[in-house]
């Protein structure tokens, strides 16, 4: 950790910054899983909303 001391004696701690990198484009298998997860999430939200409307 990088620490500096100013003229009044106060410490100032700086966080260690992680190394930067570029994200890679998801593979076809990862894209397929994202679509499946999105579909399941939409079904779940739709079901919860439908139940809320039916109960109220």
pLDDT in tens, 25-52: 999 999 999 999 999 999 999 999 999 9
How high is the pLDDT of residue 1? 61
**Given a cut of 80, is residue 18 above it in pLDDT?**
yes
Closest C-alpha to 42, from 52, 50, 53:
50
**Given a cut of 80, is residue 8 above it in pLDDT?**
yes
DSSP labels, 25-56: PPPHHHHHHHHHHHHHHHHHHHHHHHHHHHH-
DSSP class of 1: -
How high is the pLDDT of residue 31? 97
Residues 6+ apart with CB under 8 A from 36: none
Q: What percent of the chain has pLDDT over 70?
A: 98
How high is the pLDDT of residue 14? 78
């Amino acid at each position: 950790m990088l620490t500096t001391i100013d003229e009044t004696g106060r410490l100032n701690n700086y966080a260690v910054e992680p190394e930067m990198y570029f994200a890679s484009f998801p593979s076809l298998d990862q894209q397929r899983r994202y679509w499946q997860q999105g579909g399941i999430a939409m079904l779940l939200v739709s079901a919860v909303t439908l139940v809320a409307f039916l109960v109220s």
